[in-house]
Amino acid sequence: GQNIDQPTEMTATEGAIVQINCTYQTSGFNGLFWYQQHAGEAPTFLSYNVLDGLEEKGRFSSFLSRSKGYSYLLLKELQMKDSASYLCAVRRSSASKIIFGSGTRLSIRP
């Protein structure tokens, strides 16, 4: 089976940096995704990691350690529009199925 854990809520200040952690347990790991979901909207793709290390994309970076079953999403120079839920999702090698965590609701304060 699979188990994905991430904090339920986080708060950060505009202009700062925040790190959202995700730990997972799954058989046949074949990639980890981060999605952003604003309230009332659809999830949108942010990043994908399948090898260990850091993937940087503008203000957002995602890190993966397969041996530790651990990933984080790093958001820099936070803006008010970054207030959203951030979903960690894991893909198993045996199927197209992606399993989502319950999401971390991030609130940005001025």
Partner 1 sequence: DTAVSQTPKYLVTQMGNDKSIKCEQNLGHDTMYWYKQDSKKFLKIMFSYNNKELIINETVPNRFSPKSPDKAHLNLHINSLELGDSAVYFCASSHKSATSGGLYNEQFFGPGTRLTVL
Distance CA 83, CA 53 (A): 26
Nearer to partner 1 by Cβ, of 49 and 82: the residue is 49
Binding site for partner 1 (CB under 8 A): 30-31, 33, 37, 41-45, 48, 50, 85, 87, 91, 95-100, 102-103, 105
**Cα–chain center distance at 102:** 11
Cβ proximity to partner 1, 13 vs 25, nearer residue: 25
As beta bridge partners, residue 92 has: 29
List, in sequence order, every beta strand (DSSP E) within the chain. Answer: 2-5, 9-13, 18-26, 29-37, 44-49, 53-57, 60-65, 70-75, 84-92, 98-100, 104-109
Residue 37 or 61: which CB sits closer to partner 1?
37
Nearest alpha-carbon partner for 75 in 55, 57, 60: 60
Q: Which is nearer to partner 1, 76 or 92 (CB)?
A: 92
- Smallest separation, CB 40 to partner 1 (Å): 8
